[in-house]
Amino acid sequence: MSGHAHAPEGGNKGVALLIAILALMLAFAEMGVKYGEREAVAHNLEASNLWSFFQAKTVRRTTVQVAAEQMETQLPLATDPTVKANMEKRIADWKATAERYESEPSTGEGRKELVARAKHAEERRDHERARNELFEIASALVQIGIVLASAMIITGIGALAWAAGGLGGVSLIVMLFAMLKPEVLHLVLH
């Protein structure tokens, strides 16, 4: 009888170790989920702020362009050479300002540069969202694996432990994709 009691205990120790490993993997997957969520939100806010800044630059650019165009229509009516020179200087200043609003490489705050920065932030946001989704899938697989391994202890059905281990292996692969190249697996899954 001691032989029968001893064998399941050794098997249960192996399954308990499997559950501990799966729990550790679950902790890492959940850390990945939280990191992905946080980073996706941060990059989304960055993109939103940059698009708002772009919109403000567009309004400012349009305003100075309209002012320059209006003054250009009034320029032929100016008879005083000093007034005409001041108007021409003002028109040139407004046009220069409009051009600076369009592109300002030195500060990265022209409309062209803001578009590029906003799109880059959106790409990083999408990357983190893909990473987050994969970590969520890995987390779910590990949780199912833990349930199956726990059921093996109760039922004694060895195939459940093998299935739990297999899910753990698949989860590990999904986590590796999440860390290294989330877009690849994300495209396959969607």
pLDDT digits (tens, 9 = 90+) for 20-60: 999 999 999 999 999 999 999 999 999 999 999 999 999 99
Q: Are 141 and 174 in contact (CB under 8 A)?
A: yes
pTM of the model: 0.78
**Angle 96-65-71 (CA atoms, 0-180°, nearest 5)?**
95
Q: Are 62 and 94 in contact (CB under 8 A)?
A: no
Cα–Cα distance for residue pair 157/13, rounded to 1 Å: 15
Those residues with Cβ within 8 angstroms of residue 167's Cβ, 6 or more apart along the chain or in another chain = 141, 142, 144, 145, 148
pLDDT digits (tens, 9 = 90+) for 75-131: 999 999 999 999 999 999 999 999 999 999 999 999 999 999 999 999 999 999 999
Helix (H) or strand (E) holding 27: helix 2-74
The per-residue DSSP string of 95-106 comes to HHHHHHHH--TT
